Amino acid sequence: MRIRSSSVALAAATMLGAGVLSLAAPAAASTTHEPAAASALTAAASTVAADTWAPGTDYTSGSVVTFGGKRYMCVVSHTSLAGWEPPNAPALWLEIP
């Protein structure tokens, strides 16, 4: 599996307090990345405590939630709405182990 991005590549994931993930991007990012970058990101996110997803909640990029027995990481900050459940909104959520 390859991860594609139009302008920004995820290069590092750093754990911060309160279960928030900070993502750093390199200065000169390419558009195609090997699975190692995705593996490092999802491995770091899999150690974060997760709340259950709920509509009407403000989620920031890096937030981790559970929904339907699976874990998801928020990739775009947003306020959740009914219909934007993680499996229905792949532009907002990434399934993690």
CATH number of the domain bearing residue 21: 2.10.10.20
| The total number of structural domains that make up the chain | 1
Residue ranges making up the domain that contains 50: 3-96
Distance separating alpha carbons of residues 12 and 41, to the nearest angstrom: 7
The predicted pLDDT at position 82 comes to 96
The predicted pLDDT at position 6 comes to 32
The predicted pLDDT at position 49 comes to 76
73, amino acid identity:
M
The predicted pLDDT at position 32 comes to 45
Residues of the chain with pLDDT under 50: 1-34
Q: Are 50 and 66 in contact (CB under 8 A)?
A: yes
φ/ψ of residue 46, rounded to 5: -70, -15
